[in-house]
């Protein structure tokens, strides 16, 4: 079961880009800003040397939009964010797994680059879904989730969304599910989206505590993005 959790947390891909952002959202993302290339994102992603006390490793991240779907369908953006992705095709994506060397909480992160309009739509879709969806089923993984809680805006980047929820994992319908706390923080910084996600292993020391994405990871990554774009 624990292998299933880590595998699902590290992988995601597939699905078409959506339309429908307001002109205000497009303006917020900056209509003249250009998406970054894969090479740009690789240079922007944090490494071991950027983040003291953590080990940083690459994880797969395809530019295609996520194929995860949820029931109800309006909850799909939340299910997709659990793998660091969204329902929007990116120009490029890169992923990292960040582990604490001192057995503290870590996180996984996906950086994705989009058009200005789609970058704003990614954040808006996740925020809207988190507001509306408390309980849903990830159809592809066949897991249920409940207790979705849209947290106060943490104020990162140009706009950000923070949420917590709990995965109910069971091998059979009649089996008592294992409750796995999850946390997601998504940030738009110009046309780059950073999605950080973390979960607590049920048998670990924080198994029943709310999951958290360490602030040091988020701030270090956003500061590095800011240095490369001149937006610090």
Of 19, 182, 40, the C-alpha closest to 111 is 40
Strands 70-71 and 178-189, sheet pairing: unpaired
Confidence of residue 154 (pLDDT cuts 50, 70, 90): very high
Please name every residue paired with 98 in a beta bridge, in sequence order, or none if there are none. 56, 107
55-107 confidence digits (pLDDT tens):
999 999 999 999 999 999 999 999 999 999 999 999 999 999 999 998 889 99
Furthest-apart CA atoms within the chain: distance in Å:
54
In the numeric block, the tokens 């994880």 are attached to 59
Look at the alpha carbons of 194, 123, 74, 91 in this order and tell me if their dihedral is positive or negative: negative
- How far from 83 is each of 59, 67, 170, CA to CA, in Å? 11, 11, 19
- Looking at the chain, the whole-number percentage of residues with pLDDT higher than 90 is 71
> How many beta carbons lie within 10 A of that of residue 16, not counting itself?
10
pTM: predicted TM-score of the whole model, two decimal places: 0.84
Residue 208 neighbours by CB under 8 Å, 6+ apart: 179, 181, 200
Residue 8 neighbours by CB under 8 Å, 6+ apart: 82, 83, 141, 143
36-49 confidence digits (pLDDT tens):
999 999 999 999 99
H helix or E strand, kind and range, residue 189: strand 178-189
Q: How high is the mean pLDDT of the chain?
A: 85
What size, in residues, is the chain? 232
| d(C-alpha 156, C-alpha 196), whole Å | 12
- What are the CB-based long-range contacts (under 8 Å, 24+) for 169-177? 169/1, 169/4, 169/5, 169/143, 171/1, 177/144
| d(C-alpha 80, C-alpha 129), whole Å | 11
H helix or E strand, kind and range, residue 99: strand 92-100
CB 160 within 8 A of CB 123: yes
Please name every residue paired with 145 in a beta bridge, in sequence order, or none if there are none. 136, 167
Confidence of residue 231 (pLDDT cuts 50, 70, 90): low
């Amino acid at each position: 079961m624990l292998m299933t959790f880590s595998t699902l947390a590290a992988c995601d891909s597939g699905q078409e880009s959506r339309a429908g952002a307001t002109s205000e959202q497009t303006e917020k993302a900056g209509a003249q800003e250009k998406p970054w290339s894969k090479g740009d994102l690789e240079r922007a992603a944090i490494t071991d040397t950027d983040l003291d006390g953590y080990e940083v490793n690459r994880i797969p991240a395809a530019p295609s939009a996520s194929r995860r779907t949820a029931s109800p369908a309006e909850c799909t953006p939340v299910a997709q964010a659990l793998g660091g992705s969204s329902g929007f095709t990116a120009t490029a994506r890169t992923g990292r797994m960040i582990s604490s060397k001192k057995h503290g909480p870590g996180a996984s992160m996906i950086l994705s680059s989009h058009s200005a309009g789609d970058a704003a739509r990614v954040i808006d879709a996740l925020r809207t879904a988190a507001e509306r969806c408390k309980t849903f089923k990830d159809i592809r993984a066949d897991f249920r989730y409940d207790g979705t809680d849209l947290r106060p805006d943490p104020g990162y980047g140009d706009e950000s969304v923070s949420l917590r929820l709990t995965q109910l994992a069971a091998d059979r319908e009649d089996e008592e599910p294992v409750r796995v706390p999850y946390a997601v923080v998504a940030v738009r910084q110009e046309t780059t989206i950073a999605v950080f996600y973390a979960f607590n292993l049920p048998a670990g020391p924080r198994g029943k505590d709310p999951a958290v994405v360490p602030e040091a990871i988020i701030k270090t990554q956003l500061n590095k993005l800011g240095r490369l774009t001149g937006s610090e």
